[in-house]
Amino acid sequence: MAKITHSLLLRNGRVIDPANGLDETADVLIVDGHIAAVQPSIELQAHETLDVSGQIVVPGLIDMHVHFREPGQEYKEDFESGSKAAAAGGFTTVATMPNTKPVVDNAYLVEAMVDRAAEVGLINIKIIGALTKGQKGEQLAEMAEMSAAGAVAFSDDGHFVDNAKIFLNALDYLKPLGKLAICHEEETMLVKGGSMNESLNSTRLGLKGRPSIAEDIAIARDCLLADYAETRVHFAHVSSARAVDIIRETKSRGVKVSAECTPQHLTLTDDLVNPSDATTKINPPLRTQADCDALLEGLLDGTIDCLVTDHSPHAIYEKEFPYDQAPSGFPGLETSLAVMLTELVSKGRMPLNKLIEKMTIAPAKVFGLEAGTLSVGAKADVTVFDPNLEWIVEPEKFMSKAKFSPFAGRTLKGRVTHTICGGKLIFKL
């Protein structure tokens, strides 16, 4: 019998593991980086013991849509700072988008990113490659080679592939690889120059709008192409009520599409837009309360498969540009779980178990990852949070290099206290 080199025992937590239908007070034993037991009471003298009474123990959170800015924009974020931000937010697995400088559109860069992730070694960082060369939508990228080098999916995130033939070719190319196309869905010419949702608010504020119909048209087209090509398509950061309806109808016909949404699109509206504060500028933009409500309904009924943060850090001076000139996005890893707990779970709008499912086993299934579970033998990626701990969002204290947030100053209820990745305690509040 192999000698145990390290053991960690989490005692008396409420263990929620949707993958196994588990929700009970139990102990979790971790031995040499893997889950060894999940039982009501484990009588064992471990090398390290944490009493997590009154706290909730779940599989390590998974976020399949982040921007860590390597290579080329490390002043915004890098793998190390992004990993620390992820750990502070309870995430043990993330996937980085390829819209970097240069774009991750070849096997050499995928290999370099895989090596870089291993070098940092804090969390599991998966690499997403580009669908087209330079994300220009003109020529397919080297997807087979990138897949062999470790790319888990492919996306031109930040750009809609306008050319339907190019996108169809990409789907045909991906089918034998068994990898997802992740689609940023806004018809380009309809949103050109826009900086917020097209609405009465955009007219009142004098800002050019990005109409939701641009998202609806793009998603409708790609639902049809997914059906035609019989290939899996995943819709990034869905924000429109009508888009949810289109995806729901497409799924009802057995078409292999999946979708994600973000905490910001679920909980914030374009009523918050202030032209002098670009922290609310995101892409796609904040929409209406009706859109928020439709997204939540889609999340609850399975139309939307999983939650992501779309963690998009920038230097603070960049977000101080005029609203229509500032870059889109904000750092979301450190606030995501708490926002969901505060705005949805504590208000009775979403069951806690459903939230944990959407942040663990659901994304693992969509992307074919061996993660998101506390099954015996699984890699010990575990998150512990206190659902009653209140805290004020202070971006200057973020682990991320990006020190701003539309949630700044808000009191949130629920906070990660411990994050464990591969059996190692990588974050402690």
Superfamily of domain 60-367: Metal-dependent hydrolases (3.20.20.140)
DSSP 373: -
What's the rounded mean pLDDT across residues 83-104? 98
What is the band of 187 on the pLDDT scale with cuts at 50, 70, 90?
very high
pLDDT at 349 over 80: yes
* C-beta neighbour count of 66 within 10 angstroms: 27
The whole-angstrom separation of Cα 146 and Cα 180 is 13
Q: What average pLDDT does the chain have?
A: 97
pLDDT-based confidence at residue 44 (cuts at 50, 70, 90):
confident
Comparing CA positions, the residue from 363, 356, 205 lying closest to residue 273 is 205
Q: Pairing state of beta strands 124-129 and 91-96? A: parallel
- pLDDT at position 351 is 98
pLDDT at 8: 95
Reported as a pLDDT band with limits 50, 70 and 90, residue 411 is very high
Q: How far apart are CA 189 and CA 174, in angstroms?
A: 27
| Choice among 222, 310, 381, 386 that is catalytic | 310
Average pLDDT over residues 216-237: 97
Is a pLDDT exceeding 90 seen at residue 46? no
Residue 420 tokens, joined: 């464990």
Q: How many CB atoms lie within 10 A of CB 316?
A: 14
Check pLDDT > 80 for residue 3.
no
pLDDT value of position 43: 87
Residue 2: its pLDDT value, please? 62
Task: Provide the 10 A C-beta neighbour count for residue 344.
Answer: 21
- Check the CA dihedral 367-129-332-8 and report its sign: positive
Q: What percent of the chain has pLDDT over 90?
A: 97
Q: What is the CA radius of gyration of the chain?
A: 21
**What would the mean pLDDT of 177-195 be, rounded to a whole number?**
96
How far apart CA 51 and CA 85 sit, in angstroms, is 24
Model pLDDT, residue 251: 98
Residue 58 carries which side chain, given as an amino acid letter? V
Q: Could you give the CA distance from residue 80 to residue 400 in angstroms, rounded to a whole number? A: 9
Distance of alpha carbon 422 from its chain centroid, rounded?
Answer: 20
CA 153 to CA 147: how far, in whole Å? 8
pLDDT value at 4 more than 80: no
Picking from 386, 412, 388, 383, the residue whose alpha carbon sits closest to that of residue 62 is: 383
User: Is 310 one of the catalytic residues?
Assistant: yes
Q: What is the pLDDT of residues 266-283, one digit of tens each?
A: 999 999 999 999 999 999
Residue 31 has pLDDT above 90, yes or no: yes
pLDDT at 16: 98
| Measured distance CA(69)–CA(401) in Å, rounded | 11
Question: Tokens representing 278?
Answer: 């670009």
**Per residue in 115-136, pLDDT tens?**
999 999 999 999 999 999 999 9
Q: Sort residue 111 into left (φ over 0), alpha (ψ -120 to 50) or beta.
A: alpha
CB 105 within 8 A of CB 133: yes
pTM of the entire predicted model? 0.96
Q: Beta 411-421 vs 424-428: how paired, if at all?
A: antiparallel
Distances (CA, A) of 287 to 265, 270, 295: 7, 5, 11
Residue 55 pLDDT class (50, 70, 90 cuts): very high
Tokens of 326: 């500032």
